[in-house]
Amino acid sequence: MWFVWFVDDASSASRLSYSLAVPETPTLRPALFLDRDGVLNEDHGYVSRWEDFRWIAGAREAVAAFNRAGWLVIVVTNQSGVGRGFYTEDAMHALHRRMAEDLAEIGGRIDAFYHAPQHPEAPLDAYRHPDPPDRKPNPGMILRALAEWAY
């Protein structure tokens, strides 16, 4: 049984539990699932460049504290700006790499980033989906992370 905390805005947390098949001798670790925009960074709309990125006060230190306590820290983020054509997935990955570099300077890390670029009204066909399974509030990103990190 995994117990995870998902923080989807700076003021709330929801406890989710999932039963997953695990090895006979599992190495269980608690996991913290964080949204990106509005939780880790200030959300001023479609942040895709390091120059526009601003950490929320205390966010880096909180991530590092969970790392030191042995928790996995996983980001699950809707990124409809990709599907809307405002920026590319490459730009988003570059921002995530820069976030990781900045966290490393204080001993913190994000163990994984999961993103959902799809949107029901995306102008780009490749990203248009009526109800994307990974797009929050659907649980797709969290379920993928649980499957990939359950060892």
Report the first-to-last Cα separation within the chain, whole angstroms. 12
Among 9, 37, 111, 134, the one annotated catalytic = 37
Determine how β-strand 72-78 pairs with β-strand 31-34: parallel
Q: Is there a catalytic annotation at residue 125?
A: no
d(CA 15, CA 43): 24
Would you call 43 exposed, middle or buried from its count of C-beta atoms within 10 A (0-12, 13-18, 19+)?
A: middle
Among 35, 52, 90, 125, the one annotated catalytic = 35
Contact present, 76 and 6 (Cβ < 8 Å): yes
Would you call 145 exposed, middle or buried from its count of C-beta atoms within 10 A (0-12, 13-18, 19+)?
A: buried
Q: What is the CB neighbour count within 10 angstroms for residue 87? A: 18
Determine how β-strand 12-18 pairs with β-strand 2-9: antiparallel
Q: Is there a catalytic annotation at residue 102?
A: no
**Would you please indicate which residues are annotated as catalytic (active-site) residues?**
35, 37
